[in-house]
Amino acid sequence: MYYSDQTIVYFNGNFLKAKDAGMNLYGQSLHYGYSVFEGIKSYGTTHGTRIFKAEKHYERLKRSAELMHIPFDYSVSKLTDLTYQLLEQNGFTDAYIRPLITCSPNMSLSKGKESYLSLLAWEWNNGYLTDKVKVMTSNFQRPNPKAFRIEAKAGGHYVNSILACQDARDKGYDEALLLDENGNVAESSGANVFYEKEGILYTPALGNILPGITRQTVFEICSELNIPVQETFFKPEEMRGADAAFFCGTAAEIVALDSLDDVPFTKSWAGTASEKVQQAYQKLVRVLSL
Ligand code: PMP
Protein backbone atom coordinates (compact mmCIF):
# COMPACT_ATOMS: atom_id res chain seq x y z
CA MET A 1 0.00 0.00 0.00
CA TYR A 2 2.73 2.51 0.89
CA TYR A 3 5.37 1.71 -1.70
CA SER A 4 6.17 -0.45 -4.71
CA ASP A 5 9.50 -1.54 -6.19
CA GLN A 6 9.53 1.70 -8.20
CA THR A 7 8.75 4.16 -5.37
CA ILE A 8 11.36 6.86 -4.79
CA VAL A 9 12.10 8.31 -1.36
CA TYR A 10 14.48 10.99 -0.19
CA PHE A 11 16.89 9.83 2.50
CA ASN A 12 19.74 11.74 4.04
CA GLY A 13 20.76 13.74 0.98
CA ASN A 14 19.77 11.37 -1.84
CA PHE A 15 16.77 10.20 -3.81
CA LEU A 16 16.72 6.38 -3.85
CA LYS A 17 14.31 3.48 -4.19
CA ALA A 18 12.20 2.87 -1.09
CA LYS A 19 13.11 -0.83 -1.22
CA ASP A 20 16.82 0.04 -0.98
CA ALA A 21 16.48 2.41 1.98
CA GLY A 22 17.49 0.96 5.34
CA MET A 23 17.49 2.15 8.91
CA ASN A 24 20.24 1.77 11.44
CA LEU A 25 19.25 -0.51 14.32
CA TYR A 26 21.17 1.38 17.00
CA GLY A 27 19.28 4.68 17.09
CA GLN A 28 17.23 6.42 19.78
CA SER A 29 14.43 6.99 17.27
CA LEU A 30 13.75 3.29 16.87
CA HIS A 31 14.31 2.34 20.50
CA TYR A 32 12.75 5.30 22.31
CA GLY A 33 10.42 6.96 19.76
CA TYR A 34 12.80 9.93 19.68
CA SER A 35 11.90 11.26 16.24
CA VAL A 36 9.78 14.06 14.82
CA PHE A 37 7.63 14.01 11.73
CA GLU A 38 4.94 15.73 9.70
CA GLY A 39 1.85 14.69 7.78
CA ILE A 40 1.29 16.83 4.69
CA LYS A 41 -0.99 16.57 1.70
CA SER A 42 -0.69 17.59 -1.92
CA TYR A 43 -3.65 18.12 -4.20
CA GLY A 44 -4.31 18.55 -7.89
CA THR A 45 -5.40 22.21 -8.00
CA THR A 46 -6.30 24.81 -10.59
CA HIS A 47 -2.57 25.71 -10.46
CA GLY A 48 -1.28 22.14 -10.89
CA THR A 49 -0.01 19.93 -8.05
CA ARG A 50 0.23 21.97 -4.86
CA ILE A 51 1.35 21.04 -1.37
CA PHE A 52 -1.22 22.48 1.03
CA LYS A 53 0.39 24.81 3.60
CA ALA A 54 3.89 23.39 3.04
CA GLU A 55 5.47 26.32 4.83
CA LYS A 56 3.39 25.87 8.00
CA HIS A 57 4.13 22.13 8.10
CA TYR A 58 7.87 22.60 7.63
CA GLU A 59 7.98 25.39 10.20
CA ARG A 60 6.31 23.00 12.64
CA LEU A 61 8.74 20.21 11.72
CA LYS A 62 11.70 22.49 12.48
CA ARG A 63 10.07 23.63 15.73
CA SER A 64 9.36 20.01 16.74
CA ALA A 65 13.05 19.15 16.18
CA GLU A 66 14.12 22.17 18.24
CA LEU A 67 11.78 21.28 21.11
CA MET A 68 13.21 17.74 21.11
CA HIS A 69 16.84 18.98 20.93
CA ILE A 70 17.32 17.20 17.62
CA PRO A 71 19.83 19.05 15.42
CA PHE A 72 18.27 19.85 12.05
CA ASP A 73 19.29 22.60 9.66
CA TYR A 74 17.28 22.24 6.44
CA SER A 75 15.46 25.46 5.52
CA VAL A 76 11.72 25.55 4.88
CA SER A 77 12.31 26.43 1.23
CA LYS A 78 14.79 23.55 0.74
CA LEU A 79 12.34 21.12 2.33
CA THR A 80 9.50 22.37 0.13
CA ASP A 81 11.66 22.15 -2.95
CA LEU A 82 12.74 18.56 -2.15
CA THR A 83 9.11 17.59 -1.60
CA TYR A 84 8.03 18.89 -5.00
CA GLN A 85 10.95 16.94 -6.52
CA LEU A 86 9.81 13.81 -4.70
CA LEU A 87 6.24 14.18 -6.00
CA GLU A 88 7.52 14.74 -9.51
CA GLN A 89 9.90 11.75 -9.42
CA ASN A 90 7.02 9.51 -8.32
CA GLY A 91 4.45 11.11 -10.65
CA PHE A 92 2.11 11.89 -7.72
CA THR A 93 -0.59 14.58 -7.63
CA ASP A 94 -2.93 13.79 -4.72
CA ALA A 95 -0.54 12.39 -2.16
CA TYR A 96 0.16 12.09 1.53
CA ILE A 97 3.69 13.19 2.38
CA ARG A 98 5.51 11.99 5.46
CA PRO A 99 8.74 13.83 6.38
CA LEU A 100 10.55 12.09 9.23
CA ILE A 101 13.63 13.11 11.19
CA THR A 102 15.49 10.32 12.96
CA CYS A 103 18.74 10.34 14.91
CA SER A 104 22.11 8.72 14.37
CA PRO A 105 23.25 5.64 16.35
CA ASN A 106 23.23 6.45 20.06
CA MET A 107 21.73 4.37 22.84
CA SER A 108 22.11 6.92 25.61
CA LEU A 109 19.31 9.06 27.01
CA SER A 110 20.90 12.29 25.87
CA LYS A 111 20.06 14.64 23.02
CA GLY A 112 20.49 13.63 19.38
CA LYS A 113 23.96 14.23 17.91
CA GLU A 114 23.15 14.03 14.21
CA SER A 115 19.85 13.66 12.36
CA TYR A 116 18.65 12.11 9.12
CA LEU A 117 15.79 13.42 6.99
CA SER A 118 13.51 10.99 5.17
CA LEU A 119 10.74 12.16 2.84
CA LEU A 120 8.17 9.53 1.95
CA ALA A 121 5.01 9.94 -0.12
CA TRP A 122 2.17 7.77 -1.33
CA GLU A 123 -0.88 8.43 -3.47
CA TRP A 124 -3.97 9.29 -1.48
CA ASN A 125 -7.30 10.48 -2.75
CA ASN A 126 -9.55 9.91 0.25
CA GLY A 127 -9.52 11.04 3.84
CA TYR A 128 -8.84 8.25 6.32
CA LEU A 129 -12.34 8.50 7.77
CA THR A 130 -14.88 9.00 5.02
CA ASP A 131 -18.24 8.17 6.63
CA LYS A 132 -19.76 9.76 9.68
CA VAL A 133 -17.59 8.74 12.56
CA LYS A 134 -18.72 7.01 15.74
CA VAL A 135 -16.56 8.24 18.58
CA MET A 136 -16.05 7.15 22.18
CA THR A 137 -14.52 9.08 25.03
CA SER A 138 -11.28 7.25 25.71
CA ASN A 139 -9.99 6.14 29.06
CA PHE A 140 -6.53 7.03 27.74
CA GLN A 141 -5.63 10.68 28.42
CA ARG A 142 -3.50 12.74 26.06
CA PRO A 143 0.13 12.98 27.22
CA ASN A 144 0.48 15.46 30.05
CA PRO A 145 2.19 18.66 28.81
CA LYS A 146 4.36 18.56 31.93
CA ALA A 147 5.72 15.18 30.80
CA PHE A 148 6.04 15.82 27.06
CA ARG A 149 6.51 18.67 24.59
CA ILE A 150 2.91 18.24 23.52
CA GLU A 151 3.09 20.91 20.79
CA ALA A 152 5.81 18.90 19.02
CA LYS A 153 4.82 16.20 16.55
CA ALA A 154 7.11 13.58 18.06
CA GLY A 155 7.10 9.87 17.26
CA GLY A 156 6.82 8.66 20.86
CA HIS A 157 3.58 10.61 21.47
CA TYR A 158 1.83 8.37 18.99
CA VAL A 159 2.12 5.29 21.19
CA ASN A 160 -0.63 7.01 23.19
CA SER A 161 -2.62 7.51 19.95
CA ILE A 162 -2.27 3.86 18.94
CA LEU A 163 -3.45 2.64 22.36
CA ALA A 164 -6.48 4.94 22.36
CA CYS A 165 -7.49 4.36 18.74
CA GLN A 166 -7.15 0.57 18.96
CA ASP A 167 -9.11 0.50 22.21
CA ALA A 168 -11.96 2.44 20.52
CA ARG A 169 -11.93 0.05 17.55
CA ASP A 170 -11.93 -3.00 19.83
CA LYS A 171 -15.06 -1.56 21.47
CA GLY A 172 -16.86 -1.08 18.13
CA TYR A 173 -16.19 2.65 17.54
CA ASP A 174 -14.29 4.33 14.70
CA GLU A 175 -12.21 6.72 16.77
CA ALA A 176 -11.29 7.83 20.26
CA LEU A 177 -11.78 11.25 21.81
CA LEU A 178 -9.06 11.78 24.39
CA LEU A 179 -9.32 14.07 27.40
CA ASP A 180 -6.55 16.12 28.99
CA GLU A 181 -5.29 15.63 32.55
CA ASN A 182 -8.11 17.89 33.83
CA GLY A 183 -10.86 15.83 32.18
CA ASN A 184 -11.46 18.39 29.42
CA VAL A 185 -11.83 17.35 25.81
CA ALA A 186 -8.45 17.48 24.06
CA GLU A 187 -8.36 15.82 20.62
CA SER A 188 -8.63 12.50 18.83
CA SER A 189 -5.72 10.14 18.23
CA GLY A 190 -4.71 12.12 15.15
CA ALA A 191 -6.99 15.14 14.65
CA ASN A 192 -8.40 18.21 16.41
CA VAL A 193 -12.07 18.48 17.30
CA PHE A 194 -14.87 21.08 17.02
CA TYR A 195 -18.52 20.92 18.03
CA GLU A 196 -21.40 23.20 17.01
CA LYS A 197 -24.27 24.57 19.11
CA GLU A 198 -26.73 27.17 17.82
CA GLY A 199 -24.45 28.21 14.98
CA ILE A 200 -21.35 28.67 17.19
CA LEU A 201 -18.30 26.41 16.88
CA TYR A 202 -16.34 25.41 19.99
CA THR A 203 -12.87 23.85 20.07
CA PRO A 204 -10.40 23.06 22.87
CA ALA A 205 -8.02 25.91 23.68
CA LEU A 206 -4.29 25.31 23.22
CA GLY A 207 -2.19 23.81 25.99
CA ASN A 208 -2.95 20.10 25.87
CA ILE A 209 -3.28 19.49 22.13
CA LEU A 210 -1.25 19.54 18.95
CA PRO A 211 -1.80 23.03 17.47
CA GLY A 212 -3.22 21.73 14.20
CA ILE A 213 -2.65 23.49 10.92
CA THR A 214 -6.15 22.43 9.80
CA ARG A 215 -7.58 23.81 13.08
CA GLN A 216 -5.95 27.14 12.22
CA THR A 217 -7.37 26.90 8.68
CA VAL A 218 -10.85 26.36 10.19
CA PHE A 219 -10.43 29.64 12.13
CA GLU A 220 -9.51 31.41 8.88
CA ILE A 221 -12.53 29.91 7.08
CA CYS A 222 -14.84 30.88 9.98
CA SER A 223 -13.60 34.44 9.93
CA GLU A 224 -14.18 34.60 6.17
CA LEU A 225 -17.69 33.09 6.47
CA ASN A 226 -18.63 35.02 9.65
CA ILE A 227 -19.09 31.84 11.67
CA PRO A 228 -18.41 32.51 15.37
CA VAL A 229 -15.82 30.19 16.91
CA GLN A 230 -14.65 29.93 20.52
CA GLU A 231 -11.49 28.33 21.90
CA THR A 232 -12.35 27.09 25.36
CA PHE A 233 -11.98 24.18 27.79
CA PHE A 234 -15.03 21.91 28.02
CA LYS A 235 -16.08 18.49 29.25
CA PRO A 236 -17.40 15.71 27.00
CA GLU A 237 -20.88 16.22 28.58
CA GLU A 238 -21.04 19.66 26.93
CA MET A 239 -20.23 18.19 23.55
CA ARG A 240 -22.45 15.09 23.73
CA GLY A 241 -25.76 15.67 21.95
CA ALA A 242 -24.63 19.00 20.42
CA ASP A 243 -25.99 20.04 17.00
CA ALA A 244 -22.96 18.76 15.07
CA ALA A 245 -19.26 18.02 15.47
CA PHE A 246 -16.23 17.29 13.34
CA PHE A 247 -12.62 16.18 13.48
CA CYS A 248 -10.09 18.15 11.47
CA GLY A 249 -6.57 17.36 10.41
CA THR A 250 -4.41 17.16 7.32
CA ALA A 251 -5.28 13.49 6.80
CA ALA A 252 -8.83 13.58 8.18
CA GLU A 253 -9.59 16.91 6.44
CA ILE A 254 -13.00 17.90 7.91
CA VAL A 255 -14.94 14.79 8.84
CA ALA A 256 -18.42 14.79 10.36
CA LEU A 257 -18.98 12.93 13.62
CA ASP A 258 -22.04 10.74 13.95
CA SER A 259 -22.12 10.33 17.71
CA LEU A 260 -20.12 10.59 20.90
CA ASP A 261 -20.52 7.66 23.32
CA ASP A 262 -23.57 6.52 21.29
CA VAL A 263 -25.32 9.88 21.73
CA PRO A 264 -25.95 11.21 18.21
CA PHE A 265 -25.30 14.79 17.16
CA THR A 266 -28.78 16.11 16.66
CA LYS A 267 -28.89 18.17 13.46
CA SER A 268 -28.62 16.64 10.05
CA TRP A 269 -25.18 17.59 8.71
CA ALA A 270 -26.51 19.41 5.63
CA GLY A 271 -27.10 23.06 6.42
CA THR A 272 -24.95 23.22 9.59
CA ALA A 273 -22.15 25.77 9.95
CA SER A 274 -19.86 22.73 10.20
CA GLU A 275 -20.89 21.59 6.73
CA LYS A 276 -20.13 25.07 5.36
CA VAL A 277 -16.64 24.85 6.87
CA GLN A 278 -16.18 21.39 5.33
CA GLN A 279 -17.19 22.63 1.88
CA ALA A 280 -14.97 25.71 2.15
CA TYR A 281 -12.03 23.52 3.18
CA GLN A 282 -12.48 21.22 0.18
CA LYS A 283 -12.56 24.25 -2.08
CA LEU A 284 -9.54 25.82 -0.42
CA VAL A 285 -7.24 22.82 -0.82
CA ARG A 286 -8.15 22.48 -4.51
CA VAL A 287 -8.42 26.14 -5.52
CA LEU A 288 -6.10 27.68 -2.92
CA SER A 289 -8.24 30.75 -2.24
CA LEU A 290 -11.61 31.18 -0.56
N1 PMP B 1 -3.80 16.26 16.71
C2 PMP B 1 -3.02 15.19 16.53
C3 PMP B 1 -2.67 14.33 17.68
C4 PMP B 1 -2.53 14.89 15.24
O5 PMP B 1 -1.75 13.82 15.04
C6 PMP B 1 -2.90 15.72 14.15
C7 PMP B 1 -2.40 15.40 12.77
N8 PMP B 1 -1.16 16.00 12.52
C9 PMP B 1 -3.72 16.83 14.41
C10 PMP B 1 -4.15 17.07 15.70
C11 PMP B 1 -4.10 17.77 13.31
O12 PMP B 1 -2.99 18.51 12.89
P13 PMP B 1 -2.87 19.09 11.41
O14 PMP B 1 -4.15 19.82 11.15
O15 PMP B 1 -1.72 20.00 11.50
O16 PMP B 1 -2.68 17.94 10.50
pLDDT tens sequence across 118-135: 999 999 976 555 678 999
Separation of alpha carbons 68 and 148, rounded Å:
10
pTM, full prediction: 0.96
> Is 155 near ligand 1, meaning CB less than 6 Å away?
no
Please report the atom of ligand 1 found closest to the CA of residue 189: 3
- Taking the centre of ligand 1 as the mean of its atom positions, its distance from the CA of residue 98, in whole angstroms, is 13
Question: Residue 127: its pLDDT value, please?
Answer: 57
Of 87, 29, 80, 35, give the one whose Cα is nearest residue 59: 80
Give residue-wise pLDDT tens across range 52-85.
999 999 999 999 999 999 999 999 999 999 999 9
- Taking the centre of ligand 1 as the mean of its atom positions, its distance from the CA of residue 287, in whole angstroms, is 22
For range 260-266, the mean pLDDT: 98
> What is the location of CATH 3.30.470.10 in the chain?
8-123
Least confident of 29-33, 42-46, 100-104, 271-275: 42-46
Please state the CATH superfamily assignment of the domain spanning residues 133-287 in this structure.
D-amino Acid Aminotransferase, subunit A, domain 2 (3.20.10.10)
- Taking the centre of ligand 1 as the mean of its atom positions, its distance from the CA of residue 7, in whole angstroms, is 26
How many other CB atoms are found less than 10 A from the CB of residue 254? Answer: 23
> What is the location of CATH 3.20.10.10 in the chain?
133-287
> Is 210 near ligand 1, meaning CB less than 6 Å away?
yes
For range 260-265, the mean pLDDT: 98
Sorted by sequence, the CB contacts under 8 Å of residue 110 that are 6+ apart come out as none
Residue 290 pLDDT grade (very low, low, confident, very high; cuts 50, 70, 90): very low
- Taking the centre of ligand 1 as the mean of its atom positions, its distance from the CA of residue 176, in whole angstroms, is 14
- Taking the centre of ligand 1 as the mean of its atom positions, its distance from the CA of residue 11, in whole angstroms, is 24
Looking from the CA of 195 toward its CB, the CA atoms found within 13 Å total 26
At residue 248, what are phi and psi to the nearest 5 degrees?
-140, 140
CB crowding 36-45: b at 16 or more within 10 Å, else e: bbbbbbbbee
Collapse the DSSP code of 221 into the 3-class scheme (helix H, G, I; strand E, B; otherwise coil) and give the result: helix
Please report the atom of ligand 1 found closest to the CA of residue 250: 16
> Is 187 near ligand 1, meaning CB less than 6 Å away?
yes
- The strand pairing partners of 271, in sequence order, are none
Give residue-wise pLDDT tens across range 153-209.
999 999 999 999 999 999 999 999 999 999 999 999 999 999 999 999 999 999 999
Q: What DSSP character marks residue 19?
A: G
CA distance readout (Å), 240 to 136, 167, 196, 206, 253:
10, 20, 11, 21, 22
Domain 8-123: top CATH class: alpha beta
